[in-house]
Amino acid sequence: VEDLVESYFEKQSAIIQGKLKRSLGLKDKVREIISPATFGEPIKKFFTVGDLSSTPAQTNPVEIANVWRKTTPMGSGGIKSHHAITMETRDVQPTHLGYLDPLNTPESGKVGVTVGLTSEVRKRGNDMVTPVVDKNNKMHWLDPIQFFNSKIGFPDQYDVVNGKAKGISNEIKSMYKSKNITLASKDVDYYLRSPRTMFSFPSNLVPFLQNTQANRAGTGARMIGQAMTLDAKEPPLVRTYRTSKSTYEDMLGGYLNPKLAIGETGTVQAIDDKYISVKLSSGKIKKLGLYNDFPLNQDGYLDSTVLVKPGDKVDSTTALTESNYSQGHTLAIGKNLTVAYMPYKGYNFEDGAVITDDAAKKLSHTMLHKANIFYNPKMAKFSKEKFAAWYPDILTPENNKKLDSRGIIKVGQTIDPGEVLAAFLVEKELDEQEMALKKLNKFIFNVYAKNVTIWDEEESGIVTDVSVTGRNIDIYIKATHPFKEGDKLSGRYGNKYIVTKIIPTSDAPHRLKGDPIDILLSPHSVPGRMNVGQLLETAAGKIAEKTGKPYIVNNFENPTQDMAAKIFAEMKKEGIEPNEILTDGKTGQKIKNPIFVGKQYIMKLRHIVNKKQGTHNYGVYDIDEQPAGKGAQKVGTMDTYAYLAHGAKHNLYEMTNIKGRKNEEYWRDLQFGLPPGKPARNFIFDKMTTYLKGSGINVSKKGNKLQILPLTDADVLDMSNGEIKDPGAMLVGKNLTSRKDGLFDPTVTGGVKGTQWGHIKLIDKIPNPMFEDAIIKALNLTENSYANILNGKLTLNGETGHKAIFKALKEIKVGSRIKTLKAELKIAPPTNVNKLNTKIRYMEALKDLKMDPIKAYTMGVVPVIPPVFRPTYPLPSGDLVVSDINKHYRDVGLVNKSLRDSFKDLPESMRLEGMNTLYTSIKAMQGFIDPITYSKEKYKGFVQELGKMKTGLIHGKAWAHRQDVSGRSTITVEPSLGLNEVGIPRDFAYTTYKPFILRSLKESGIKATRALKHYEEKTPTAQLALDNVMKERPVILNRAPSLHKHSVQAFRPVLTTGKSIRLNPLVVKGFNADFDGNSVNAYITISYDFKFLEKVLRKELNLDKDFSLDFDTYFNYIKGIHTNQESLNMLKEAITSYIDIKENKIFNIHIKDFPHTNKITKETNKIIESASQASSS
């Protein structure tokens, strides 16, 4: 960064000099001429706007060091777009050797592009250099050019004998000019100093790297960088060799801790909260700073624990402190847990893991959360007393005591979930209507809005600091979070897991001496991913546990060594068995087969379930009247195709017209037990058609069909409620009231939230930029000639400028032109056929619409869309957000007004220039070019707003809808569920089913106000209502991306505990889901589409045409029907329910009830017969 920021600042010097020169002529005081922003602003932009710097995650010291050493060809001065990156560029290149670590690259679109430097690379001047040794074992530092031109032997190809580097054989595997070759040992120039020279810091932290498949090693290195500090942290039992005196864990664990420089010695003189004072042997006092809840990004922090006391003798090797990421100087970001590789009742299916209560306690972590509040000093009123007067129900008496007089939490206070961190008043910006209400009764009308920040974590926290700087209030809260089901764990080999079950420690399998297993992992994950490194560590961990010493692994130490045999021999020497007979903690019975058990270093990753869960019912909407907030999930284009493949048109209607937009009256009626009325107009559809009209395209609806055609001046005047005479005027700054004749003229448009059209009358008619291509084709012009005619450089029929185009269009007779073009088409060469057909289509379209080119392709008025579709509103900071379209109207209006005021007095050349500027400003407004003024802002025009992929109005809003009553969470496995069931966390369901709970309470005879109170207090009555509504209302799950129709499936919800959504493992394969941290979206259905539900909810029968079972079982699940009675019983357990749609009801009928019911169909009987035959065969 230091090189880049210097270069960036040099490029800004010309701009700074220009500003200073202007200031010298206008100002007298030095402070006014050279303000802090003069030099501070370029530096700030480098870090906040430019792409040459980024904000690191800072999850732990390894990640901090890794991000510091990453490289990329992207950004300013490099490759601009990921689309320009070829596959060859992403490949591992021979020139990476010794400089870039191919394992250290992200899994995203940056794979192979963003790559980490190797651990021993240094910077020398502007070059990178890496260490090599010559035949005398003397170290040299080579830059990439020197390395390329030298014959370099690989580091495992030499030994040091009598102080000299000697090849292990006469033929040495080497690299020369980017080619792998074999050389005679005498021809080798240098050897790479060490295998560790080839890899980055994170990769070198992976033990048994040589025994780990490359993809797993790369993933493992990334997982180390994502590990959070644990409250019960400890260093790994198995570590990686760096030097004869240290490991990589020592290096990376201690580099952030304060220490003396190499060669310094001294005596600890004093210790306080901020410093350790050491009196050096030279007599000088050296102060070494301490971390005290020092905040990092992503809620991390650094905290120092002092390990020395006054009077201690210390040197550069003494561990003065340890941090919350280290034990002494050794990295400690995980826990050595007892691991057993065995299935456990289906819960550790695929990447699922089962842990014990005690293991969960060992994996709790503490975070330093930051609540940032932005406020406008001119509008914010900080007074707890005044706030309580206006909003008496917000603060409880206990919460009130924790806030200072300003309404901000005090340092040292314990904040409980749901309590207020900060509460203050914000003076409202009153419009004309609100001003009138205030005049009627100033005592009743509230002139203040509230700004309240809630502590929304599930655990209590302690406030460690409150900082008020400028417009920011930063509150830091330290909170400890227990491990929960759905949280993510990982080893150091890319073996990452979602914890699907936390079991009582007493129920876990126990070892011979009674020690419980901490974590149960599926053995299938090892061979399936060629991930044997974890087995070696687990075995080596047993050796370290027995000897009481860390097991140091020197990766790539001996290229011919069998590490498995080596470790097995060491275990045998220590009298350690790799496999053990375990005892089932629940039954007390010994497990028949020996299980591989050992110690493995397990880390808790930052992907905790709390961060992934989000729920939303209704009531919060964005400016486009679509559901907003973390929990509101989107139904996109691919999801829509999946619903269509199911034939679920009713569900799509519901998602588009009810749940996908603001429908407050609908939800009110539904909750009150009333028949919900028909939804109101679709705001986003109206906005889309309005934007099309604003761009110059008329939209005509005939039945279910939409026709687009040119928007004529007559159409504009017919829609318009009046002329906007001063488009440059928007709002009165003090209270954002509308200005007469401006863009929000209350008479013409209806004010800031108006729904009426207006128009801008142009100084003269001009060609409509929307139909530029049609005009060019109609007049047989090129783009260049057309542009030159408009700016006066070329003539057309003796005329120039817009009038020339106007005159030429007027001469076109549509009928005769069509005949002429068709005659030309008959004799045209193949190269002209497409051009002529295009021209014919344009003319035939005019003929069908009964329009001439002048009417269709020119414009004398600009339509001004209603303000409701181009809002302007203030942020909490006081800054004003102005829709881009308003800025374009301002540009058009200012150019047009300037021409109107002086058009008659201007010479012809300036008239042409002015009209051309007006044309380009309208073209920018329509969205075909960048704005003519304020180009650095690059505000978007209509077409750009409409058409941008994913985020544009069409793809991002009109074709994709965020949903009310929806949510998402991590998925975990639950074998006890039926194939058609999904486990929904109770809190998740309680939020998403809110309107149906209230309706159920109301229908039971409870008044609406009491029903709401029941819901808010979560009474047993409300919980019972939840149970009832869930029985009759299925859940639709979506696993994104929706690659096929089975990415969307319906399930019967079953209430569960925890935070994760639970699925039967047999449905995940077709669902494209797995249990390594994947999340699914859940949507609550309002009404039934029985055609869809019958299809997807019948999957518990899972039948082919011959009624044979067709679900696929794998991993821990047995495929096919077993030929014994026990398997038949298991099959009957799997067939859990039967659907009767005759009365539009869904019944649950269990196998045990079959003798007592007449609801059994031929299909069900055939399943049982098929199973019985298979059992007897």
Kindly report, residue by residue over 140-149, the tens digit of the pLDDT: 999 999 999 9
On average, the pLDDT of the chain sits at 86
> What was the pLDDT predicted at 20?
76
pLDDT, mean of residues 109-133: 92
pLDDT, mean of residues 576-585: 94
More confident residue, 273 or 1071: 273
Looking only at the bridges linking them, the beta strands covering 1061-1063 and 966-973 are parallel
> What was the pLDDT predicted at 1158?
37
CATH 2.60.40.10 correct for 200-254+327-364+484-606:
no
Q: Percentage of residues in the chain with pLDDT exceeding 90?
A: 60
How many C-beta atoms surround the C-beta of residue 1167 within 10 A? 22
Pick the range with the lowest mean pLDDT from 109-113, 242-246, 731-735, 840-844: 731-735
Contact status, residue 303 vs residue 295, Cβ threshold 8 Å: no
Range from 711-725, 863-877, 1112-1126 that averages highest in pLDDT: 711-725
pLDDT, mean of residues 83-94: 87
Contact status, residue 1015 vs residue 982, Cβ threshold 8 Å: no
Give the C-alpha distances (Å, rounded to integers) separating 959 from 228, 681, 962.
Answer: 39, 16, 10
Gyration radius of the chain's alpha carbons: 36
The pair phi, psi for residue 753, each rounded to 5°, is -110, 25
> What was the pLDDT predicted at 437?
59
Contact status, residue 864 vs residue 759, Cβ threshold 8 Å: yes
Q: Return d(Cα 927, Cα 474) in angstroms, integer.
A: 40
Confidence of residue 1126 (pLDDT cuts 50, 70, 90): very low
Is the predicted pLDDT of residue 25 greater than 70, yes or no? no
Q: Return d(Cα 1075, Cα 351) in angstroms, integer.
A: 5
Contact status, residue 1083 vs residue 1038, Cβ threshold 8 Å: yes
> What was the pLDDT predicted at 1114?
55
Confidence of residue 1144 (pLDDT cuts 50, 70, 90): very low
Domains of the chain, by residue range, sit at 1-49, 70-199, 200-254+327-364+484-606, 257-324, 365-481, 613-682+946-993+1033-1098, 696-794+859-940, 1101-1177
Pick the range with the lowest mean pLDDT from 319-328, 482-491, 725-734, 788-797: 725-734
Domain 257-324 class in CATH: mainly beta
Q: Percentage of residues in the chain with pLDDT exceeding 70?
A: 89
pLDDT, mean of residues 844-868: 94
CA–CA–CA angle 302, 307, 313 (5° rounding): 130
More confident residue, 493 or 1126: 493
Is the predicted pLDDT of residue 1103 greater than 90, yes or no? no
Is the predicted pLDDT of residue 1164 greater than 50, yes or no? no
Contact status, residue 399 vs residue 262, Cβ threshold 8 Å: no
Is the predicted pLDDT of residue 939 greater than 60, yes or no? yes
> What was the pLDDT predicted at 878?
62
More confident residue, 77 or 902: 902
Task: Kindly give, in sequence order, each residue whose CB lies less than 8 Å from that of residue 546, ignoring residues fewer than 6 positions away.
Answer: 574, 576
The tens digit of pLDDT for each residue in 160-185 reads 999 999 999 999 999 999 999 999 99
Is the predicted pLDDT of residue 257 greater than 50, yes or no? yes
Q: Return d(Cα 158, Cα 604) in angstroms, integer.
A: 39
Is the predicted pLDDT of residue 804 greater than 90, yes or no? yes
Is the predicted pLDDT of residue 24 greater than 80, yes or no? no
Assigned architecture for domain 613-682+946-993+1033-1098? Beta Barrel (2.40)
pLDDT, mean of residues 907-929: 91
Q: Return d(Cα 974, Cα 501) in angstroms, integer.
A: 9
Is the predicted pLDDT of residue 82 greater than 70, yes or no? yes
> What was the pLDDT predicted at 33?
74
Range from 146-150, 423-427, 1085-1089, 1152-1156 that averages highest in pLDDT: 146-150
Confidence of residue 731 (pLDDT cuts 50, 70, 90): low
More confident residue, 463 or 87: 463
Q: Return d(Cα 420, Cα 395) in angstroms, integer.
A: 7
Pick the range with the lowest mean pLDDT from 69-78, 273-282, 714-723: 69-78
349 φψ region: left (φ > 0), alpha (ψ -120 to 50), beta (else):
beta
Using DSSP's 3-state secondary structure scheme, residue 112 falls into: coil
Contact status, residue 537 vs residue 212, Cβ threshold 8 Å: no
Pick the range with the lowest mean pLDDT from 131-145, 540-554, 989-1003, 1079-1093: 1079-1093
Is the predicted pLDDT of residue 1143 greater than 70, yes or no? no
Using DSSP's 3-state secondary structure scheme, residue 665 falls into: helix
Do 257-324 and 200-254+327-364+484-606 fall under one CATH topology?
Answer: no
> What was the pLDDT predicted at 440?
57
Confidence of residue 1104 (pLDDT cuts 50, 70, 90): very low
> What was the pLDDT predicted at 589?
94
| Lookup: tokens for 825 | 């088409």
CA–CA–CA angle 755, 760, 765 (5° rounding): 140
458 burial (CB, 10 Å; 0-12 / 13-18 / 19+) is middle
Q: Return d(Cα 1102, Cα 1166) in angstroms, integer.
A: 13
CATH 2.40.50.150 correct for 365-481:
yes
Is the predicted pLDDT of residue 465 greater than 60, yes or no? yes
263 burial (CB, 10 Å; 0-12 / 13-18 / 19+) is exposed
CA–CA–CA angle 887, 888, 892 (5° rounding): 120
Looking only at the bridges linking them, the beta strands covering 122-124 and 380-381 are unpaired
pLDDT, mean of residues 647-673: 89
CATH 2.30.150.10 correct for 70-199:
yes
The pair phi, psi for residue 214, each rounded to 5°, is -60, -45
The verdict on whether omega for the bond into residue 202 sits within 30 degrees of 0, i.e. cis, is: no
> What was the pLDDT predicted at 1137?
34
